[in-house]
Amino acid sequence: MLDIKFIRENADIVKMAATKKKIKVDIDRLLALDDERRLRMTSLETKKAEQNKVSSEIQSADDSRRATLIASMQALKAEIQSEEESLKPVMEEWQALMLQVPNIPDMTVPDGDSDADNVEIRTWGEQTKFNFEPKDHIEIMLAHRMVDFERGAKVHGFRGYYLLGDGARLMWAIWNYANDFFTQRDFVQMIPPTIVRKQNLYGTGHLPNDADDVFRTQDDDYLIGTSEVPGMGFYADEVLDLDQLPVKFLAFSPCYRREAGSHSKDVKGLIRVHEFYKVEQIVICEASHEVSVNWHEEITKNTEDFMQSLGIPYHVVLNCGADIGQGQVKKYDIEAWVPKEGTYRETHSASYFHDFQTRRFNIRYRDAEGKVRYAHSLNNTAVAAPRILVSLVENFQQADGSILIPEVLRPYMGKEKIG
């Protein structure tokens, strides 16, 4: 969420940000509502001050004067109640519009209409070539009984799956390796709640815009689509000391997404499923653009180092305006090479938000001068599963149908190949 003072002083910039991000929000209406809100609140504050003054006078007044003051107090009370009621719809509309205002993207974010306009900034590893006809991950994993989609659909429905045998073992190996890899970089491990109150999704910016893609309970709670949501909620409404920063969480959780609007996309396999697991890097740091940029590059490098250690070819793209979220200042996607499709597929996203999320969560800290300020926040996928298996098994498939296990995972698997 942006500061309303910033929006008022930079309305044209905010409008340009909305245009760049393809977000529809009426900034002029918001500013008009804010004028009305401020006038009504000033009037209310004046009347409440008068009410306090009259209340004080009543205590020391004689009987005849007290009756007059009480009558005036009752009239004033009625006016205050009436003005409070008339303020409510103004505040509701104002708050709804405030929640739709996008963050300002960095000047390096390119224009674009979709992810097709993202810009490749670097690649790592050679795109895997074979001297035999490669198979896709579905055929490979079914052949080794690593997955069962048919029974997954029977039990879960569309996009259901079971990981079995070496499929489950390989997944555990990746999680355990990721845990060791990232905690060596001073992240604090976290297993957060996955059913959260609605305000946490408003805090991260997943509501109201992504409402169709989240699962909701009968109690009006929500299932998380990323551990970023409860991870950011950890310090909600708290003031941290400067020496507590940066906060670095490595959060592991199951995640749930409805994949609304994606019914015709990736209908087979493990690319797009309703329930999955993520290990997430979450950083809360001091309120400095330079510090945020440095952390953004560092958490991106962490994930690139992780992918390189697995030996999976990938490239990094800079996301265009239409492909970054409402709250993001800048975003990189890391996309792994999928040989059978002959393309890269997104496996990780790294973003920074400045104080967009922390204002919503009310996460603050005391700076070196003792001033209380909103912190900055960032996040990046460490590993998303089972999607990572798609590129792993396809890149490491062998001519005899077996799957070579990346060297760093062998101690966790206890063998060199599957099959």
Residues serving a catalytic function are 257, 272, 346, 349, 387
Residue 381 marked as a ligand binder:
no
Residue 280 marked as a ligand binder:
yes
Residue 137 marked as a ligand binder:
no
Residue 359 marked as a ligand binder:
no
What span, in angstroms and rounded, lies between the C-alpha atoms of 392 and 128?
Answer: 11
Residue 276 marked as a ligand binder:
yes
Residue 349 marked as a ligand binder:
yes
Residue 194 marked as a ligand binder:
no
Residue 19 marked as a ligand binder:
no
Residue 216 marked as a ligand binder:
no
Residue 108 marked as a ligand binder:
no
Residue type, 17: A
In the β-sheet with 119-124, what is the strand arrangement from edge to edge?
A: 119-124, 314-318, 330-338, 343-352, 376-385, 275-285, 247-256, 188-190
Give the helix ranges, DSSP H, for 99-144. Answer: 137-143
Residue 45 marked as a ligand binder:
no
Residue 275 marked as a ligand binder:
yes
End-to-end, the C-alpha distance of the chain in Å comes to 52
- Contact yes or no for 202/360 (Cβ under 8 A): yes
Kindly report the backbone phi and psi dihedral angles of residue 349, in degrees, each rounded to the nearest multiple of 5, phi listed first. Answer: -135, 135
- Residue 218 vs residues 26, 70, 195, 203, 215: alpha-carbon distances, Å: 33, 48, 12, 21, 10
Closest of 267, 255, 257 to residue 158, by C-alpha: 267
- The upper half-sphere exposure of residue 74, i.e. CA atoms within 13 Å in the direction of its Cβ, equals 5
Q: Which residues are annotated as a binding site for ATP?
A: 257-259, 273-276, 346-349
Q: Which residues are annotated as a binding site?
A: 226, 257-259, 273-276, 280, 346-349, 379
Q: Which residues are annotated as a binding site for L-serine?
A: 226, 257, 280, 379
